[in-house]
Amino acid sequence: MRRHRKVKIVATLGPASSDEAMIRKLFEAGADVFRLNMSHGSHDDHRARHATIRKIEADTGRPIAILADLQGPKLRVGQFESGPVDLANGQHFRFDLNDAKGDASRVQLPHPEIFAALQKGSELLVNDGKIRLRVEDHGKDFADCIVTAGGEISDRKGVNVPDVVLPLAALSQKDKADLEFACAMGVDWLALSFVQRAEDVEEAKKLARGRAAVLSKIEKPAAVRAFDSILAVSDGVMVARGDLGVELPMHAVPPIQKRLVRACRAAAKPVIVATQMLESMIENPIPTRAEVSDVATAIYEGTDAVMLSAESAAGDFPVEAVTTMDSVARSVESDPNYREMIEATRSAKRHSVADGIVTAAREIAETTDIAAICAFTQSGTTVSLVARERPRVPILAMTPVETVLRRLCLTWGTHCVMTPRLNRFKEAVVQSAQAARDAGFADETQQIVVMAGVPFNVPGTTNILRIAPCDERLIYSTDPE
């Protein structure tokens, strides 16, 4: 079940992809990570999908990562007395805390935190930004606005406040319950919505207690402004372009995407590019050329993973969507321009022995006849550093820690292999040679690079690099240790 590409594919599960047969087809088509969207479905639904994924994992002998995406606080207007209302450009309209049903002049906005943070001139966006209003006056329980982009407003439409940091925690009570449920169930990654500051991520990590890695969704302008501090405390990042495109001018999103992907790569932390990548495939078996170009652009930028949302969760062609992403990735990665772009954006900063060793491993692999880089890891850090280098050869992530093995399924270029706990470097060389042969990355005539740390089974001790043959007879004849 080796993949013939380096970038990973995240597929969201939902009504169109809940039974074992479909989830298995998605995995066989190329899905490396399955996303459970906690905004939809019950805990029983997610528990059943989790069990199905783990069964497929056991049947195939290949690790699969599971990502639980937390909903985050949802800001919505109240209800209207007589149905939807048309707002015209230049019209005055009020939001307030009054629980009376709305009309053509006002509606409830049951979020006092918004009123506390507003300033004159702030924008309120309704229904994914289709309706825009500018605040003219405000108090602790109201905001009087001018409609700058009109349209139809109706019950429970979502509200975005792009230009202020809201005094809201990223974790609602529902999110905390979902987080505990997901961690107890055994997911590998948690995606945190509504991140505005580093403290939001730290709270989630404190609640997770190491049971799952925490990935920050960058979907608000405040998160973009505070990105460096957010990245420092996050285990990974998702560039959630849908909400970013609502709260920021759409033309601002592509350069932000490029900057965030490069920053994540430099920090050796996985990054997912998400939202509307193959949106037309919800209803059509073939994507648009623009969508294919969008996926390709993210891969050229060096992202670790690309994600399907409604395409695989609720669409008519979930398997075709995964197959399309797989085909685009393989095509891009075979383009000589891809290697030029990846290598031109490689970070030159090196700070540790492990940094030096992974750089040497990549250079050796690219200047000699090396079939693969085999990296032993306890925490996943060594493999992440190797992936940061974006080597031309495959990366075999070797670990005896199951949770680390699954988390690394999200990392660029990794083929994850479960190993027993080892005590000698020679055992690591033998394990590496066997894994490279078994997965079809090398044969007995080829050589591999093996990286490990001595003493074994201690995180952060990467200090050995060896070029080794894949023929075990040569290993034993040349290495008496």
DSSP sequence for 367-432? HTTEEEEEEE-SSSHHHHHHHHT--SS-EEEEES-HHHHHHGGGSTTEEEEE----SSHHHHHHHH
Give CA–CA dist 415/459, Å, rounded.
Answer: 20
Within its chain, how far is the Cα of 458 from the centroid?
28
Based on the residue annotation, tell me whether 421 is a catalytic residue of this protein: no
Comparing C-alpha atoms, which of 36, 14, 35, 28 is closest to residue 62? 28
Give CA–CA dist 346/351, Å, rounded.
Answer: 15
Based on the residue annotation, tell me whether 217 is a catalytic residue of this protein: yes
Q: How far is CA 151 from CA 29, 95, 327, 335, in A?
A: 41, 16, 40, 45
In the chain, how long is the greatest CA-to-CA distance?
86
Check 74, 76, 176, 392 and give the catalytic one.
Answer: 76
Based on the residue annotation, tell me whether 381 is a catalytic residue of this protein: no
The amino acid at 473:
R
Check 52, 275, 323, 377 and give the catalytic one.
Answer: 275
Based on the residue annotation, tell me whether 265 is a catalytic residue of this protein: no
Give CA–CA dist 158/179, Å, rounded.
Answer: 23
Check 106, 217, 269, 388 and give the catalytic one.
Answer: 217
Check 3, 35, 241, 388 and give the catalytic one.
Answer: 35
Q: Which residues are catalytic?
A: 35, 76, 217, 275
